[in-house]
């Protein structure tokens, strides 16, 4: 097509495995071309083809170009992101740094912290693992939302237990990729939540989802041990009594009536029968 003016040029672009898009530019256009509406942080394949009076020309060399933007950056610490109370925790979603690539949605999950994370001593493991670990099995993650939009900026997880330790797992997704971070927090007591509400440091005391004292968990093994001992004694008495019945049934029944009072004469209230 040398010597003949271009009537038009078409610029084709697409993501890998994506839909092919086309932008038509007039042939006399001699400035830079800007393609808008692209996803941030994504790589595109681009090529062009021009047309003149004779027909379509050859396809240009295909080039790859990545748009600006990276995956979200999570907050460094719990205090930058979480605001726990007694029965809820508030998530400050705006604390996630999305740079030039806005977050599309969040996936939020939580669970109670595992016992192995609360107690790291070998003594505890050796004493309680066999008997009590069924009570401390890993909690399953509870899904709060798999498509939480960031436009709300803040989000509260409710119906938590006061003075309990939790884990929170959050994954932020944008066009540049996804980032995941797990945080730990403790719900506070109701009195502490009320004090924080009164001081203005807590926006929603009834919503708190943090706080927790490990002393609560420390008391649980002792309580369980007492209950197990009581149950063992109870069943031991039953087994002993049944054993005595089967081995010496006469003695068993005789012992049941040994302390009954003997009646030497008929009660005065009842008439006697003389023959």
Q: Is position 149 within any domain?
A: yes
Per-residue pLDDT at 34 exceeds 80? yes
Q: What are phi and psi of 21, to 5 degrees?
A: -115, 155
Q: Across all residues in the chain, what is the average pLDDT?
A: 75
Per-residue pLDDT at 257 exceeds 60? no
Per-residue pLDDT at 267 exceeds 60? no
What would the pLDDT profile of 179-210 be if each residue is shown by its tens digit? 999 999 999 887 765 655 555 544 443 333 33
pLDDT of residue 214: 38
Q: Do 211 and 144 share a structural domain? A: yes
Per-residue pLDDT at 38 exceeds 80? yes
What would the pLDDT profile of 231-249 be if each residue is shown by its tens digit? 888 887 887 766 655 555 5
Confidence class for position 215, pLDDT limits 50, 70, 90: very low
Of 247 and 163, the one with more pLDDT: 163
Taking residues 38-54, report their average pLDDT: 89
Per-residue pLDDT at 219 exceeds 60? no
Q: Do 106 and 20 share a structural domain? A: no
pLDDT of residue 116: 52
What would the pLDDT profile of 120-161 be if each residue is shown by its tens digit? 544 444 444 445 544 444 569 999 999 999 888 899 999 999
pLDDT of residue 218: 41
pLDDT of residue 133: 47
Of the residues 218, 237, 256, which one is the last residue of a structural domain? 218
Distance from C-alpha of 207 to C-alpha of 148, rounded to nearest angstrom: 18
pLDDT of residue 239: 72
pTM of the entire structure?
0.56
Where helices occur in the chain by DSSP H, the ranges are 115-118, 122-132, 190-199, 214-247, 249-256
pLDDT of residue 213: 39
Of 28 and 173, the one with more pLDDT: 173
pLDDT of residue 243: 63
Per-residue pLDDT at 217 exceeds 80? no
Q: Do 190 and 60 share a structural domain? A: no
Q: Is position 231 within any domain?
A: no
Of the residues 166, 190, 218, which one is the last residue of a structural domain? 218
- Cα atoms in the 13 Å half-sphere on the side-chain side of 236: 6
Domains held by the chain: number: 2
252-261's contacts with Cβ under 8 Å and 24+ in sequence apart are none
Q: Is position 120 within any domain?
A: yes
pLDDT of residue 126: 45
- Whether 154 and 178 have beta carbons less than 8 Å apart is answered as no
Taking residues 48-70, report their average pLDDT: 87
Q: Is position 271 within any domain?
A: no
Of the residues 19, 36, 66, which one is the last residue of a structural domain? 66
* Torsion sign, CA atoms 222, 227, 232, 237: positive
Residue 160's CB is within 10 A of a number of other CB atoms, namely: 23
Q: Is position 33 within any domain?
A: yes
pLDDT of residue 9: 87
pLDDT of residue 212: 37
């Amino acid at each position: 097509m040398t010597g003949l003016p271009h009537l038009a040029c078409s610029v084709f672009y697409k993501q890998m495995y994506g839909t092919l898009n086309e932008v038509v530019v007039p042939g006399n256009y001699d400035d830079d071309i800007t393609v808008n509406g692209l996803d941030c942080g994504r790589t595109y394949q681009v090529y062009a083809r021009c047309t003149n009076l004779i027909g379509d020309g050859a396809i240009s060399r295909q080039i790859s170009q990545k748009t600006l933007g990276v995956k979200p950056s999570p907050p460094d610490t719990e205090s930058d992101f979480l605001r726990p109370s007694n029965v809820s925790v508030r998530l400050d979603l705006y604390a996630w740094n999305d740079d030039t690539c806005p977050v599309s949605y969040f996936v939020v999950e939580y669970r109670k912290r595992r016992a192995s994370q609360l107690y790291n001593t070998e003594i505890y493991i050796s004493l309680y693992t066999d008997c009590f670990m069924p009570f401390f099995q890993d909690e399953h993650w509870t899904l709060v939302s798999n498509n939480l939009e960031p436009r709300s900026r803040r989000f509260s997880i409710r119906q938590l237990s006061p003075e309990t330790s939790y884990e929170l797992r959050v994954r932020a997704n944008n066009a540049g990729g996804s980032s995941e971070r797990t945080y730990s927090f403790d719900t506070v007591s109701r009195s502490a939540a009320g004090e924080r509400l009164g001081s203005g440091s807590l926006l929603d005391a009834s919503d708190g989802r943090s706080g927790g004292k490990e002393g609560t968990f420390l008391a649980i093994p002792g309580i369980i041990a007492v209950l197990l001992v009581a149950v063992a004694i109870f069943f031991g008495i039953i087994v002993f009594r049944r054993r005595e019945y089967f081995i010496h049934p006469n003695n068993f029944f005789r012992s049941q009536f040994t302390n009954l009072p003997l009646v030497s004469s008929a009660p005065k209230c009842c008439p006697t029968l003389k023959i």
